[in-house]
């Protein structure tokens, strides 16, 4: 669980420090202040720099570029550089630790910069461009093969310099990806850390019904269906049972959620009851599936009437405590902040939470933190916290 957060050179976040975090955190701020970028950075941190998660965020933003003309870019280098450079501050291709993407806790980062060495890393993630050359080596059987040799001084110009990407974590743990490889996207997509089972990322407006079926199967195995029913009753008080069945009318033959209501004899499709209850289903399935991990929700209020948000926050606070989950959500909505504040200040919930507002000050993103008491005072005095 993150106690603080440091992000450097990721998208529009040149250097962002958040001194302390709660177990449930709500992030607010104007457009283009980096709310979604923080969630993406946390997903990279939590998955130890998983290429699959990075690519998912790239594709969501439309920055996983299609192949260029083979005659012009035979190895896909330009395409891969455009895609990866979009992650970096100002989309710049620079070298060295000062220009790397760095994500971690404040104490870990202080240790890193104290000696300017990756060896000081505990859990932080570093992503940086490198120059390398192909070095000929021999295996124990005398067979010749090539191996990438990273150039320590990237300012040195060699005729056969090549460009690569390195993702480093926990001292000597690192992954190298050559950018002049037509198969780079597939290699990157398959780079999935074992930690991905501990994180669920609900992106803005997303209701991935196929994924929901898989998450529901996991819940059935653990006999946790009651949590789902309780959450759905926020909107549908008559919900008694839920199942996932094959939709024979679908071209893709997808499984869909169906529910049994106390006042109906037959199961009915959940999607017929509107976006709100389907959004709640997506959130609760994700929440239960990241025990001892992280839940990330972009634009919490999407599809949710203000009257149900407080009830959903109550369930999130309760399950975050029971299942040891750290939650990060973003919002533009005053109603969302108000409902969050009410639950945060409710004495029956012992989980600590924070509101974090992002401000753009002279093109630098800064954070302002509100704990439970400060947020309550702000609302009583009608102080704008969005």
pLDDT digit string, tens, across residues 132-186: 988 888 778 878 777 888 887 776 665 568 899 999 876 557 899 999 888 888 8
Domain that holds residue 129: 48-190
Total number of domains constituting the chain = 2
Rg (CA), the chain: 23
pTM, to two decimals: 0.90
Residues 290 and 186 in one domain: no
What CATH number is associated with residue 296? 3.40.50.300
State how far the Cα of 79 lies from the Cα of 341, in Å rounded to an integer.
Answer: 45
Which residue from 322, 338, 190, 213 is spatially nearest to 278, judged by alpha carbons? 213
With a pLDDT cut of 90, the percent of the chain lying above it is 55
pLDDT in tens, 333-366: 999 999 999 999 999 999 999 999 999 998 899 9
Give the Cα separation of 211 and 286 in Å (integer). 10
Q: Give yes or no: residues 202 and 150 share one domain.
A: no
User: 153, 7, 178, 9: which is closest to 92 by C-alpha?
Assistant: 9
Average pLDDT, the chain: 87
- For residue 84, is it within any domain? yes
Over residues 213-229, the pLDDT tens digits come to: 999 999 999 899 999 99
Shared domain check, 79 and 226:
no
Q: Which of 173, 190, 207 delimits the end of a domain?
A: 190
DSSP structure string for 346-382: -TT----EEEEEEEEETTEEEEEEE-HHHHHHHHHTT
What does 105-121 look like in DSSP terms, one character per residue?
-HHHHHHHHHHT-GGG-
């Amino acid at each position: 669980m993150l106690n603080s957060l440091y992000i450097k050179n990721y998208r529009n976040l040149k250097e962002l420090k958040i001194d302390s975090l709660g177990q449930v955190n709500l992030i607010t701020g104007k457009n283009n202040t980096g709310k979604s970028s923080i969630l993406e950075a946390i997903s990279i941190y939590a998955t130890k720099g998983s290429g699959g998660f990075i690519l998912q965020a790239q594709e969501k933003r439309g920055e996983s570029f299609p192949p260029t003309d083979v005659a012009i870019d035979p190895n896909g280098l330009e395409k891969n550089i455009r895609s990866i450079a979009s992650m970096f501050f100002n989309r710049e291709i620079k070298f060295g630790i000062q220009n790397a993407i760095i994500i971690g806790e404040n104490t870990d980062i202080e240790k890193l910069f104290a000696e300017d060495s990756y060896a000081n890393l505990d859990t932080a993630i570093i992503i940086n461009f490198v120059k390398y050359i192909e070095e000929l080596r021999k295996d124990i059987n005398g067979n010749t093969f090539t191996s990438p040799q990273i150039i320590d001084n990237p300012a040195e110009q060699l005729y056969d310099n090549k460009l690569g990407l390195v993702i480093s974590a926990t001292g000597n743990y690192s992954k190298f990806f050559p950018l002049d490889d037509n198969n780079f996207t597939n290699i990157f997509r398959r780079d999935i850390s074992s930690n991905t089972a501990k994180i669920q990322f609900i992106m803005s407006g997303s209701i991935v019904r196929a994924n929901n079926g898989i998450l529901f199967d996991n819940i059935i195995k653990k006999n946790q269906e009651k949590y789902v029913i309780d959450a759905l009753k926020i909107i549908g008080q008559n919900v008694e049972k839920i199942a996932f069945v094959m939709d024979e009318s679908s071209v893709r033959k997808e499984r869909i959620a169906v529910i049994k209501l106390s006042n109906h004899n037959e199961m009915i499709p959940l999607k017929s009851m509107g976006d709100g209850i389907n959004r709640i289903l997506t959130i609760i399935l994700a929440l239960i599936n990241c025990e001892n991990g992280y839940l990330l929700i972009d634009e919490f209020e999407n599809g949710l009437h203000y009257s149900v948000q407080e009830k959903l926050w109550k369930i999130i606070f309760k399950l975050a405590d029971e299942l040891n989950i750290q939650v990060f959500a973003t919002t533009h909505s005053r109603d969302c902040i108000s409902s969050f504040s009410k639950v945060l200040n409710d004495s029956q919930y012992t989980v600590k939470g924070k509101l974090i507002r992002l401000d753009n000050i002279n093109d630098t993103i800064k954070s302002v933190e509100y704990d439970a008491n400060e947020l309550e005072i702000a609302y009583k005095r009608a102080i704008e916290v969005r």
